[in-house]
Amino acid sequence: DAGVIQSPRHEVTEMGQEVTLRCKPISGHDYLFWYRQTMMRGLELLIYFNNNVPIDDSGMPEDRFSAKMPNASFSTLKIQPSEPRDSAVYFCASRPDRGETQYFGPGTRLLVL
């Protein structure tokens, strides 16, 4: 199994640009989670999906952030417009329906100039 796949691994963009982060969960996993990690705030849960349906988006910082999961094998996290304070490492994680531990992807390191 390839594990959770995220792309791109690194993204550098300018303030105001749209950024799209992508995630492919482990096949058969029903839950998908998006996290953001910064030095100041640590690891924060942004949103999670169950069977492609968003369950809890209370961690999404503001309307500039949106996430979708059009099918069981693909999810996107979009930031539009991006701001320098969005610079962080964004992780995607997944887990099976009856599991309790999460499997993390390698992360996308985002720098907004």
Q: Which of residues 62-101 bind another protein (CB under 8 A)?
A: 91, 93, 95, 98-101
Interface with another protein, residue 107, by CB under 8 A = yes
Q: How far is CA 18 from the centre of its chain?
A: 15
Q: For another protein, which is the closer residue by CB, 82 or 108?
A: 108
Say which residue the tokens 């594990």 belong to.
Answer: 3
Give the C-alpha distances (Å, rounded to integers) separating 58 from 61, 79, 100: 8, 16, 21
Q: For another protein, which is the closer residue by CB, 44 or 72?
A: 44
Alpha-carbon distance of 18 to 48, in angstroms, equals 21
Give the strand pairing for 65-71 and 53-56. unpaired
Q: How far is the CB of 37 from another protein (least distance, A)?
A: 9
Q: In what order do the strands lie in the sheet with 74-79?
A: 5-7, 19-24, 74-79, 65-71
Binding mask 3-42 for another protein (x = CB under 8 A): -x--------------------------x-x--------x
Footprint of another protein (CB under 8 A): 4, 31, 33, 42-43, 45, 48, 55-56, 91, 93, 95, 98-107
